[in-house]
Amino acid sequence: MTNFITLSDRIINSSVVNQLAINLPNDLSKRLTKFQLVNISKILKLENILKNVLTFNVGPESEGPIHIDVNKLDLFNKPSKFALNIPIAHCNDLLVKWYNSDKSILDVPDNAIPEFPGTPTLENKYAIEIEKTDCLIPHIVNINTWHSVINHSKSNTAKLISIRFFEDRITKDELVKRFL
């Protein structure tokens, strides 16, 4: 089973990425405003199905923890199972890796990612890498599986957005059809 689907850059092309970048805060660690979210959903024609947009700065020569995108402090809300990741700048050396593990989210700590409290993280010794992809063009990625993000650039901070969806309003297959 693949954890990512590579999308055509024919639909989410450099012009679209430039429009998206204009609607992002200068500091990608800041939350997007409702106005920015609405604009992004209109640019991508994802009105009424876009749940939120996470923005990421991944520093040079950095590797994030292995994690699953769920909040253990709030398991009653339905977490997204997939996301649309769109590179914004300097993603040439950025990778996403997925892992298998015998550990469940309830077996591991949830304090390694200060920006996202409650996110379960997995020690490398419990992980077996099963798949990876670059982040040069947009992908639909599984986020409910153990994964990590690695920037191999010696000097550039990679910038990308990760769009989450109301999955009762769109399935992964329907999203793929929109962007292939």
**Following DSSP, what letter does each residue of 119-161 receive, concatenated?**
--EE-GGG-EEEEEEE-SS-EEEE-SS-EEEEE--SSPPEEEE
Residue 40 · residue 23 · CB < 8 Å: yes
Output the CA–CA distances (angstroms, integers) from residue 78 to 70, 71, 81, 84, in the order listed.
Answer: 9, 10, 9, 17
User: What range does the domain containing 39 cover?
Assistant: 4-179
Output the CA–CA distances (angstroms, integers) from residue 133 to 93, 103, 119, in the order listed.
Answer: 11, 23, 22
pLDDT at 26: 74
pLDDT at 73: 62
pLDDT at 10: 80
Q: Which residues contact 3 (CB under 8 A, 6 or more apart)?
A: 98, 130, 131, 141, 142, 145, 147
How many other C-beta atoms can be found within 10 angstroms of the C-beta atom of residue 118? 13
End-to-end CA distance of the chain: 19
pLDDT at 74: 59
Stated as kind and residue range, the H or E segment containing 54 is strand 50-58
Cα–Cα distance, 110 to 93 (Å, whole number): 27
Residue 121 · residue 177 · CB < 8 Å: no
pLDDT at 31: 77
Reported as a single tens digit per residue, the pLDDT across 25-53 is: 777 667 788 888 899 999 999 999 988 89
| Number of independent structural domains in the chain | 1
**What are the residues facing 58 on neighbouring strands?**
158
Q: Which domain CATH number covers 169?
A: 2.60.120
| Residues lower than pLDDT 50 in the chain | none
Cα–Cα distance, 29 to 137 (Å, whole number): 22
